[in-house]
């Protein structure tokens, strides 16, 4: 199922790229934007309805556009995405890409959210960077790289989790409906502060203006998940559990913070040092991201190994030049004494 879904997602990317090439040519030859920023949301809704009979909700927050589509039969009995549902997701991404490339609105990211009408507590969230779409369309990046640059996640709807836990407290206290809604509105219904909190619940978007820094941090964590699960050699040596990324800017320092739980499975020997291999692979992934985007506007990469309760710091120039200069992990990682 995972391999089939992966192939389907790659097909989606290819279909989007092919259609976008045509639409971009039309856009470049036009004197005025096809979809003016003043009517962007209405245009997306109209296209979805006219071309695919899809009733969607659309919002724009800063430089981020969000599209929500509730569909019947999104998930199968194993809570995976049904084959037929991929067609709807593909259409949703196609329309989103087509519109953001043909508007005068300053859209840098778009986020597609899909939920099953039978189980809206679960959602599919896909986030794409508009410049990546353009580069993929003109084949400036490979198909596999384009896939890696797409954030894809199936998770519990964060706002649903939050409200359900609060409502259980209300039930125990027999709080009346009016008071419930007032408390929820004032204290529990607020815009998300991180990408993992993005979602849609009960007629409302929970979307934020996505920044490049947090997008790259999330991409690092996502690539770690992909590599440690998909690479056969890494899967033999390590057991991936979780990874998450964030960006912090405090006191003039910009830091990518990657928290992870990756257990060692292979036994350490004179020829094999699990800690070195693990850190080397994670830094290599971070290098792929920042070097691929030519992004240098940060000071440190902070790695937090939550299983061993230890953290490491790597300077920006060492992360950026890691592969090119073939840097040794033990020389660039600020690790506790005798860690290696």
Question: DSSP states of 214-243 as a string?
Answer: HHHHHHHHHHHHHHHHH-HHHHHHEEEEEE
8 Å CB contact between 278 and 323:
no
334: which DSSP letter? B
8 Å CB contact between 237 and 277:
yes
Tell me the two tokens of residue 44.
């997306």
Crossing angle of helices 130-137 and 83-100, rounded to 10°: 100
pLDDT of residue 10: 47
pLDDT of residue 5: 53
pLDDT of residue 3: 40
Alpha-carbon distances of 125 from 87, 101, 150, 213, rounded to whole Å? 15, 20, 10, 19
pLDDT of residue 20: 47
User: What gap in Å lies between CA 7 and CA 12, rounded to an integer?
Assistant: 9
CB atoms near residue 328 (< 10 Å) = 11
pLDDT of residue 2: 44
pLDDT of residue 216: 98
Q: Which of 270, 262, 260 is nearest to 237 (CA)?
A: 262
pLDDT of residue 283: 98
Place of tokens 């519109």: 99
CA angle 10, 219, 317 (to 5 degrees): 130
Residue spans of the chain under pLDDT 50: 1-4, 6-8, 10-30
Q: What are phi and psi of 178, to 5 degrees?
A: -60, -45
User: What gap in Å lies between CA 206 and CA 217, rounded to an integer?
Assistant: 20
Give alpha helix (H) positions in the chain: 2-29, 40-52, 83-100, 130-137, 143-148, 158-173, 177-183, 212-230, 232-237, 274-292, 316-320, 329-332
Total-model pTM: 0.87
Beta bridge partners of 60: 65
């Amino acid at each position: 199922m995972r391999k089939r879904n992966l192939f389907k997602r790659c097909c989606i990317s290819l279909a989007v790229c092919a259609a976008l090439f045509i639409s971009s040519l039309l856009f470049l030859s036009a004197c005025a934007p096809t979809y003016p920023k003043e009517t962007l949301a209405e245009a997306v809704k109209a296209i979805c309805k006219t071309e695919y009979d899809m009733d969607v909700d659309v919002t724009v927050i800063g430089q981020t556009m969000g599209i929500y589509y509730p569909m019947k039969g999104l998930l199968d009995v194993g809570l995976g995405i049904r084959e037929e549902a991929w067609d709807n997701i593909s259409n949703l991404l196609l329309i989103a890409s087509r519109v953001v490339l043909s508007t005068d609105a300053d859209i840098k990211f778009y986020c597609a959210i899909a939920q099953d009408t039978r189980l809206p507590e679960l959602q599919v969230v896909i986030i794409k960077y508009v410049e990546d779409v353009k580069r993929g369309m003109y084949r400036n990046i490979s198909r596999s790289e384009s896939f890696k640059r797409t954030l894809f996640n199936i998770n519990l709807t964060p706002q649903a989790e939050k409200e359900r836990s609060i409502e259980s407290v209300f039930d125990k206290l027999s709080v009346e409906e009016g008071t419930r809604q007032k408390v929820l509105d004032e204290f529990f219904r607020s815009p998300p502060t991180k990408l993992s909190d993005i979602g849609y619940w009960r007629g409302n978007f929970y979307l934020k203006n996505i920044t490049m820094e947090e997008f790259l941090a999330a991409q690092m964590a996502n690539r770690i998940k992909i590599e440690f699960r998909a690479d056969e050699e890494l899967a033999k040596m390590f057991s991936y559990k979780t990874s998450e990324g964030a960006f912090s800017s405090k006191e003039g320092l910009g830091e990518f913070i990657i928290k992870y739980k990756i257990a060692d499975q292979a036994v350490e020997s004179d020829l094999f040092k699990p800690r070195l291999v693990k850190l080397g692979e994670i830094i290599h992934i971070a290098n792929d991201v920042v070097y691929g985007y030519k992004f240098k506007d940060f000071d440190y990469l902070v790695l937090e190994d939550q299983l061993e309760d230890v953290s490491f710091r790597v300077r920006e120039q060492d992360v950026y030049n890691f592969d090119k200069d073939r840097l040794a992990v033990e020389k660039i990682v600020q690790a506790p004494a005798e860690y290696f």
